[in-house]
Each structure stands twice: as C-alpha cells, then as structure tokens.
Structure 1
Amino acid sequence: MNPSPSAATTRALNRVREGMQRLQVHWFYIVQAGIAAGLSYWVGLHLFGHQHPFFAPMATVIVLSTTGGERFRRAVELVVGVSVGVGLGDLMIAGFGTGVWQIAIGVTLAITVGTFLDKGVLVANQAAFAAILVATILPPSTSGGTDRMVDAFIGGMVGLIVIALLPESPLKQGRKEVSRLLGITSTVLHEVAQALKDNDERAIRRALQNARGTQGVINNMIAAARAGEENLTFSPLMWRQRHKIRSLKRILNPVDNAIRNTRVLARRALVLAEDKDEVSAEQILIIEELSQVAHELHVLFQGTDSSHTQIPELVRRLRVLGGQAGLDVAEGRVLSAQMILGQSRSIIVDLLQICGLSRRSGIAILRPTSQTPGQPPELWLDEDDTDDTV
C-alpha cells in the first residue's frame, strides 16, 4: 500500500528539516574545505608547475575531514603512504613492466609495507592507491609519480595551514554534547524517580533504554575535546581559549561517569521493581533533586556564557544532598535499594566535579558510611544549617 500524500509530505519535510540542521552544524567545515581545496590546487598548479595536481585537493579534503584531534597524523600518513606506493610502483614497472600480476604484486607489497610502517589504515590504503595509479595511469616515464608525492605534501600542508588560520572552535560542539548527556541524565533520573514512586516497571524500562543509547554522544564529546587540544597546538588564534578547552577536557570523565552511574541506577531500579520492593521516600527525593541539578547544568552548557554564575548555588544544593544521602535513608531496605543509594552518592560526586570540584572534595561532602572514612567528611546536613561539619 502506498503511503498517503500527507504522510509522504511529512517525511519529505522532515528530511528537508534534518538536512538544513546538518548544514547549520557543518557549514563552517564546508566553507573551510572549499577554500582549502581550491588553494591547494592553485599552489600545485602555479607554484610547483604541475599540470594536473589533482591529488593536492584530494589530500586536503582527507586531512580536513578527519576529526578527534588526528588531522596532523592523517597528513603525515597521507604523505608516507603516497611515497611508499609511488616508490614501489616505479620499481615494479621498471623491473617487470605493467600487467595483471604486476599490479597484484605491487598492491600486495604496498599494503604490506604500509602496514609495517604504521598501524593506521590510511598509510596502507594510500600506498595501494598510489601503486595502482603509477602502474596504470601515471607510469614513471611521465614523472607523474613524483608529482603525486609532492601533491600529497602540498595538500596535507595546505590543510593544516587552513586549520591554523581558519580554526573551528570545538567549544560549541563540545558544550553541545556535554549538554545533551546532562539532559539525558536528568530525564532518566526524573523518569526513574517517578516510576519508583508509582511502582511503574514499564516506565523504568523505557528510562533504561534511553540511557543505553548514549555512547555515540559520549564519543562526539571526546572527539570535540581532542580536536580542541589539536587546535591549540596548530592555531595561535585558539590560544585565548586555552583555559576553556582545558576546562572542557577536565569534565569529560565526570560527565561520562554521570550517565554511566545513571544507567546502573536505572538497572537496579528495574530489579527492585521486578521484585516488587520499594525504596524510601527520602531516596526518591534525592534522585529527583539530582535530576533537577543535572537539568540546570544541561541548560547552562546549552548557552555560550561560560561564567556559570549559578554554579555556587548548584554546589550548595549538592552539598545538602551529600549530607542527606546516608545509610539511614535505605535502612532496613533490600540490597537493590541500598545499591540505588550507592549510585545516587556516586552521581552527587560526578555532578560536583562537573561544577568544578575535585573528586576528593566531592567525596568529602558525602555523609560517611564507614567508621574510618579514607576522606575526612564535610557535611551540610540541611539548607538552614550550613555551618555544621564533621
């Protein structure tokens, strides 16, 4: 059965909307790649006198398209791979001519040497491509093989120069991914708190499913931070953002831990619901307050203002939670309830680290569960009694 016109129109509009959103996210890369490709072709054509420097813009686009702080490595791999492939292609053709078995052996040798020289796939692949081109399109007599080596170098270097002169700040993308993870953390905690209150096993399952699909966001967050570190190395224009990029890198693990601990909490909540057991009302309030704090951090990282004037208030609220999350709130409860308490305490520490505290300081805020705590505790027992410490 063919879809109705309205359904087809809705899908088409959704595709257009998604495409526009992707263009909005990647517009800077598109402009950067276009400028760099044209520049590298011009350099190869006019400064080096190559008749068809087609590999220069190809190399530039390969360098610019890499993410996660690996652009310099990719540029080096590109040049090495092309050099190996051209050299082996020249030797094979000079000694044995061209043909089916010569190309088969040349590609095999090129990939073997490329794999031996570097673990990266790009070296081996470029070596194979170069060997094929030299053996089929650009035989040694045309001197095209040597030009390809130079073109690869031109493309790689122009790509790195454009990155340095036209850097794309990773802060916006990094903060966006951090905000997404904190938003998911907040939503899952809220859904679990409501489901525990209502004894809704299905709602906990849905919350747990939402928490499990976050690895791609975590990877994007890490890639943005790595790109920021590399930009600091290559681009003087990024030096003034040095402390912001380092701050972003510092919170990667706490943000990652927060969503992971939330997943564990949701799993234990599901076990508890399946067993028809309950947590105390105080535990539900702690989880709900953690959800609220995570939501406010989510909103903070959505914006461009990095001053975070609300952070001290969030730290105060987390200190209160640390004083409340003692063994007494799960006293007499089953193991799953006690494990939910343990995960709640871990999330308190994670959110405190996101707010700027060290892990040791975060642990010190928790009410101790041991007679001999490794970290001397410092408690805020309630909102009106902020001077009591132990």
Structure 2
Amino acid sequence: MMELQKNNSFNNNLSFLAWKLSIGSIISWELAELLGSHHPYLAPLSVILTIQSTMGKTIGLSIKRMIGTIIGIFVTVLIAKHLPVEGWVLGVLILLGCYISIYLKLDKKVLHQVSLTILFVFVFEHLSKSYATDRLRDSFVGVLVAGILQLVWFRIFSRKT
C-alpha cells in the first residue's frame, strides 16, 4: 500500500512538472513574441531550465541563469564581434567568461550559463544582430514566468493538501 502511494505521489509530481513546463513554455513564448523577439524559443528555454521542485530552488537557479546570461553577453558582445567564428575563439571567450565568474566567486551553475550564452551569442549574433538582445530579454521573460508559475502553482495546490 505504501509503495502504491509513493508511486502515485511520484507520478503526480511528474504530471505537475509536465503541466508547468508546458504552460510556462506557452506563456513565455507568446510574451516574448509580444515583446518583439525574433527568437521567442529562448523564453521557454529559460522556463524549462529553471523550473525546479521548490520555489526557492527555481528562484536560485533563475538568478544564476540571469547572472550567467549577462556575463556571457557582456563578454561576447564586447569582444566577439571583432573575431572570426572559429572553435579556438569560442574556447578563449568561454575561458574568459568563466574566469570572470570565478573572480566574482560565482558557482559552477553560473559558469555553465556563461558558457552556454557565449556559445549561442557568439554563433547567432553573427547571423542575427538581435540575438544578444533577444537572449537577455527572453531569458528574463522565461525566468519571470517560471517564478510566477511556481508561485501560483504552489498557492493553488498547497491549499488542497
């Protein structure tokens, strides 16, 4: 009997997560488009990457995502527009961005976000001049939607238990 309850709780948690990811993706995509994004998929990406099991974890990861995104965009936009899109340049930019994060005493989750941002901004900014701006705005939209969704979800379902 205890195993069945544990299984149902596990499946419910996965169902809740599936619904939050789906609803958050819809809302953030539409909001990013409404705000003029040419890359609206970046907003649901932030929702998908930041929604966690608790509100606190979601907020913590959202903050780290935004810090990493800001550092990555800063490094890439300042330096990369003057350099060719090549693997060694990418590696040097990632190293620089990571060391800025290390100097600021940020953790490894921020280093991952810095590296991802540098990779995508470095490649896509050469193809679309609005990518860096869209990345920053849409990441913010996504983490905001994730946080609000977590808050609303928690308030609705904590009353039922």
Give the TM-score normalised by the residue count of structure 2. 0.82
Q: State yes or no: 1:28 paired with 2:7.
A: no
What code does the residue aligned with 1:157 have?
L
In structure 2, how many angstroms separate the alpha carbons of the residues matched to 1:141 and 1:97? 15
Distance 1:28 1:149, change over 3 A: same
Separation in 2, partners of 1:96, 1:25: 46
Q: What does 1:371-390 align with in structure 2 at a 5 Å threshold? A: none
Distance 1:68 1:152 in 2: 18
The match for 2:111 is 124
Unaligned runs of 5+ in 1: 1-17, 168-234, 242-303, 305-390
Contact 2:31 2:141 in 1 (8 A): yes
Aligned counterpart, 1:108: 95
Kindly indicate whether the alpha-carbon contact (under 8 Å) linking 1:107 and 1:131 is maintained by their aligned counterparts in 2: yes
Determine the C-alpha separation between the residues in 2 that align with 1:102 and 1:113: 17
Q: Match for residue 141 of structure 2?
A: 154
Q: Does 1:95 align with 2:94?
A: no
Q: Which runs of 5+ in 2 are unaligned?
A: 1-5
- Asked whether the 8 Å contact 2:39–2:134 carries over to 1, the reply is no
Change (3 A) 1:116 1:79: same
Shift of 1:37: 1.2
> How far 1:160 sits from its partner (Å)?
0.5
Normalized per residue, the structure richer in helix is: 2
Provide the secondary structure at the position in 2 that maps to 1:142: coil
Please say if residues 66 and 74 of structure 1, whose CA atoms lie closer than 8 Å, have aligned partners that are also in contact.
no
When residues 236 and 32 of structure 1 are mapped into structure 2, their CA distance, relative to the original with a 3 A threshold, is closer
Q: Distance in 2 between matches of 1:103 and 1:93?
A: 9
Any conservation in 1 of the 2:47–2:142 contact (CA below 8 Å)? Answer: yes
Q: Distance in 2 between matches of 1:129 and 1:119?
A: 16
User: How many Å apart are 1:237 and its aligned residue?
Assistant: 8.5
1:1-390 map, 5 Å = 22-46=10-34, 48-65=35-52, 67=54, 69-139=56-126, 142-167=129-154
Distance in 2 (CA, whole Å) between partners of 1:37 and 1:157 is 12
- What letter matches 2:44 in structure 1? P
8 Å contact kept, 1:56–1:155? yes
Distance 1:140 1:90, change over 3 A: farther
Rg larger for: 1
Point out which structure has higher relative CO (alpha carbons under 8 A, 6+ apart): 2
